[in-house]
A and B are shown apart, each in its own frame.
Chain A
Amino acid sequence: MAFSLVSARRDLALRALLAIAVLSAAAASAYALEPFAVREIAPGVFVHQGRYELFTPRNEGDVSNAGFIIGRDGVAVIDTGGSPRVGAALLAAIRARTQLPIKYVINTHMHPDHVFGNVAFEAEKPTFVGHHKLPRALAARAERYLAINKELLGDEAFAGERIIAPTLLVDDKLELDLGDRTLLLEAQKTAHTDNDLTVLDKKTRTLFLGDLLFVEHVPALDGSIRGWLALLDQLKQRTDIARVVPGHGPTSVPWPAAMAAEQRYLDRIAQDVRAVIKQGKTIDEAMRTAGLSEKDAWLLFPEYHARNVSAAFAELEWE
């Protein structure tokens, strides 16, 4: 019941989005990145919400959330968007609020929509920070990420792109001091990817989860479904969190309520895939059948779901 209500509302929301898309197509400039909207979700904590879309020349790679935290001595940026242009727009949004130095640029994981804006911050000379496995993960994928996303973004949005890997690496935990506030960075075990890093602003108890949390946008699995589910269980127990910032979704959502849908989605896939494996059926069969009950609960389901099932199957068949 609640489910159909939600889908009805989503349907309305989709229509509204469609209407907006049509309107902005009529006035292409309305779609441009200026002004780059950021919301102050807690004192000194700002987040920009990316679109629920794949990379296109039109969205210029603005498809994931990016944020920054202003402290007494400087700024920490958390993810930089999916292109040099988005990174530059984020930098402009920061500079509209403070002239303090950008001390840190933190990437929550390797995916291009979270790291491709790094290059826009290079001139600010921040320290780039990431999970200790992030440099290797980027290195292994750099060439492919550049080639594929150049095509998706188009020459204009892609212009000036270079992948910048972190130099300050987090093995387990690391605290960064911004003067009047401390950020706690935690390298997580393989979940969404093998290089997920979470960032907690202790002052406001705001946790940046990167793509460990998807809201509305269907989750994308590029790590370990077992690891991801285990991590969600663990994060759910934490009492030091007032609100979280998903990698895709609204700028600020309540914890742990906001993870319920993602947990249900991943659980559904894991259960369905395990059943298919137990019945002695194949990966193709799983891709055709597993998790379809989740179809109406998510945006971009057709773009990611079958691939998630394929990844889950390739992992769970070894249990």
Chain B
Amino acid sequence: MRAAVNPGRVLLAVIAAAAMAFSGLPARADDPWPDIKRDVFENRDIAEEDGTISLEAPYRAEDAAVVPLTMRIPASVARDVKTLTLIIEKNPAPVAATFHFGEAAGAGDRMLSTRVRIDMYSNVRAVIETTDGKLHMTTKYVKASGGCSAAAGKDMDEALASMGKMQIRTFEPATPPTSSPDMREALVMIRHPNFTGMQMDQLTREFTPMKIVQEIEVKRGGVLIFSVEGGISISENPNFRFTFAAEGNAPIEVTAKDTDGRTFTGTSADKAT
């Protein structure tokens, strides 16, 4: 059974309350970052733009519901990175995703890319925490609007009918590996509408309930590459492209769980079918 409280309405109520709380304060009081920094990082010091992480984002998004973001961490830092938190400041739930890296993420140059929804012009921040407990951040400003309330799917029937399908691809390195370990790239695609709970069905005057992939685990031959806790900011059909340390032909294995309790699994060994 679905909970009686509609998460969409709750979210909107929270936004509305936040908007009202801010409206009477002086300029710059609408800067959401101090609150996010306090709530998510307990006001710890964060080194900014120190070269430990970079973020590629379009300055102006063509489609606010599908904004590609790519994060890169140089090898010298990558081996010590525990987590990467992706924040879209002005989204209703600003923490878009939290990635935890495992051993199979490798010690080479690290790349991780995904697609997000952006609801209004916003700073997008990528924050890493290294094993020494230090935080490092890079920030990009993206012009986009309406990404969270944009109707899911160009073809709603297709979106629901194919839910849970998965595609996993691995790519041969563009140049033969010169470093050890052998770093490769893989792509994980999961068919899921990732309903935000902010998409209203005006026939029923109800919000389509939130239904998202909230937890994904990606392994190589049983060893963790990364796991991610995602929120409503991850685009429909969650898509992750990343580097990992290859080990022979060990397959990529993916387990994804959604808010309805469904579990989807896939492995790169299936790709011949």
Contact = CB atoms under 8 A, between A and B. Distances in A.
Contacts of A135: 203
B49 interface: no
Q: Which of A223, A287, A314 has the most CB of B within 10 A?
A: A314
Nearest to B200: A143
A284 interface: yes
Interface of A: 133, 135-144, 147-148, 190, 193-194, 222-224, 280, 282-284, 287, 306-307, 310-311, 314-315, 317-318
Interface string B198-217: 01111110001000000000
A314 B115 CA distance: 11
B156 A136 contact: yes
B201 A140 contact: yes
A223 B145 CA distance: 20
Interface stretch (B17-25, B34-42, B63-71, B98-106): B63-71
Contacts, number: 83
A40 to B, nearest CB: 36
Nearest to A227: B155
B270 interface: no
Interface of A: prevailing SS: helix
Contacts of B162: 318
Nearest to A145: B151
B154 A311 contact: yes
B260 interface: no
B200 A280 contact: no
Contacts of A223: 154-155
B154 A280 contact: no
B158 A140 contact: no
B191 A280 contact: no
Interface string B61-105: 011001010100000000000000000000000000000000000
A139 B146 contact: no
Given A135-B203, A314-B237, A306 B62 contact: yes
A280 B149 contact: no
B121 to A, nearest CB: 13
A49 to B, nearest CB: 27
